[in-house]
Amino acid sequence: MYRDRTVSLVIPAYNEEATIGAVVEEFRSVPQLDEIVVVDNNCKDRTAEIARAAGARVVQESKPGYGSALLRGMTDAKGDLLVLTEADGSFAARDVEKLLVYLDDSDMVMGTRTTRQMVEQGANMRFFLRWGNVFMAKYLQLLWLRPAEPRFTDVGCTYRALTRRTFDAIRGLVRETGPAFSPEMMCAALIAKRRVVEIPITYRRRAGGESKHSDTFGRQARTAWKMFRTISRMRFCGPRPGRNAAADPRPAIGP
């Protein structure tokens, strides 16, 4: 619990048996977390079994994709505050407190992996990936310069925190199932007039496995194009409300 508000950690997972146990155990050491929710996104290995044994609550999402898994996890989580992270061990549990502290003055706190001093040796943040994220973040920032004036340097970082009220406000505005869900969520928060800030977080080498969408130059390029299209659609065409509004039977909470 953090300042009398319950906190849920959401971890999307697809075949992460090599790392999920250690990740859950590391985050269980964070005193502010009330629950850890692992989303089994059609895993074909022992991810779900290992996650349960480590102390997580496992929920199922049959619709494939990073975005689908995160949406299910946030919908099923019980906390007043939601923290999102990865199952590969690339994010440090000690940064949860930092995200929560900044959430005192904002509605959503984004982590950035582009602060060089915070990127550990061997982390998957090579030149193209790092500067591609910076470019896309600055594009998003430019499109919302008025009236929001955001400051972003990363659009692909999963590690972030938001309030339940913010999730209720944006869940009907998002529809991407893949990695483009990350910037779409940022755009949705700005459309909903939520206060979004970005802070540097520690980014480590993956504990195991390969990234599903950034392990090769080709995948990085395809992901970047999808993110560019999503950001442009959200700004110039607007979201398509209602698609995910029914995912949670609880009524959305207003500002």
Q: What is the pLDDT of residues 168-192, one digit of tens each?
A: 999 999 999 999 999 999 999 999 9
Is 143 a member of any domain?
Answer: yes
Q: How far apart are CA 72 and CA 104, in angstroms?
A: 25
Per DSSP, helices labelled H in 144-216 are 164-170, 181-191
Q: DSSP label at 246?
A: G
Q: Average pLDDT over the chain, rounded to whole?
A: 90
Domain count, the chain: 1
Query: Given this model, what pLDDT does residue 121 score?
Result: 62
Is 225 a member of any domain?
Answer: yes
Burial class (CB in 10 A: 0-12, 13-18, 19+), 207: middle
Is 255 a member of any domain?
Answer: no
Is 132 a member of any domain?
Answer: yes
Domain that holds residue 11: 7-244
pTM attached to this predicted model: 0.89
- CATH number of the domain residue 80 falls in: 3.90.550.10
Is 56 a member of any domain?
Answer: yes
125-137 pLDDT, tens digit per residue, is: 677 778 789 999 9
Is 253 a member of any domain?
Answer: no
Is 250 a member of any domain?
Answer: no
Is 2 a member of any domain?
Answer: no
Phi, psi (degrees; rounded to nearest 5) at 193? 60, 40
